[in-house]
């Protein structure tokens, strides 16, 4: 099993730090996640503390938060998967990257992505992948600037 480092705290600037989420961050993380959709949704309020704590305890997962001036301004969920190809090297995925609407275009998403890439590299991942809705062109520009490419076509089926 691949374990991500437990102690993650990366100062980016004097007022911005990327760290692992803590149990106290649940409300702020849910507030940020609710901004991922164009129309308001109340489904995030149904997430239990138990689910959040299970995510925080998963050794192959790092729920990151960007803290600027003591306020949670962004979040990203990094997970590492074991793999039977590529010499058994694991791969990583990024999910639920969101920066507070008031703080976008200030380098927070780039700092979260770079931290996730560094962590994946540290544990020997051969790739990091993410998916993004086709209509999110600003996000696609961010991902390209971070070095992500579009070499595959993805499919999704909601259950």
**Domain coordinates in residue numbering, the chain:** 9-145
* 74 has a pLDDT exceeding 90: yes
pTM of the predicted model as reported, rounded to 2 decimal places: 0.89
CATH dotted code for 9-145: 3.40.630.30
The rounded distance, in Å, linking the Cα atoms of 132 and 144 is 12
* 66 has a pLDDT exceeding 60: yes
Highest mean pLDDT (candidates 18-32, 47-61, 128-142)? 18-32
- Mean pLDDT, range 1-13, rounded to an integer: 88
Q: Is 47 or 6 the better-scoring residue by pLDDT?
A: 6
Kindly indicate the confidence band of residue 46, based on its pLDDT and cuts at 50, 70 and 90: low
**Two tokens, residue 21:** 């989420």
Kindly indicate the confidence band of residue 87, based on its pLDDT and cuts at 50, 70 and 90: very high
* 72 has a pLDDT exceeding 80: yes
């Amino acid at each position: 099993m691949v374990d991500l480092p437990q102690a993650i705290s990366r100062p980016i600037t004097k007022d911005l730090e990327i760290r692992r989420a803590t149990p106290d961050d649940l409300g702020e993380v849910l507030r940020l996640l609710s901004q991922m959709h164009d129309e308001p949704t109340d489904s995030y309020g149904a997430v239990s503390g138990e689910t959040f704590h299970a995510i925080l305890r998963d050794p192959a997962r790092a729920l990151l938060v960007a803290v600027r001036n003591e306020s949670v301004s962004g979040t990203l969920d990094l997970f590492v998967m074991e793999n039977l190809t590529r010499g058994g090297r694991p791969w990583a995925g990024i999910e639920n990257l969101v920066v507070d609407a008031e703080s976008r275009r200030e380098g927070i998403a780039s700092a979260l992505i770079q931290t996730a890439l560094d962590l994946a590299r540290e544990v020997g991942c051969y790739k990091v992948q993410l998916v993004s809705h086709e209509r999110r062109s600003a996000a696609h520009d961010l991902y390209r600037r971070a070095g992500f490419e579009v070499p595959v076509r993805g499919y999704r089926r909601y259950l």
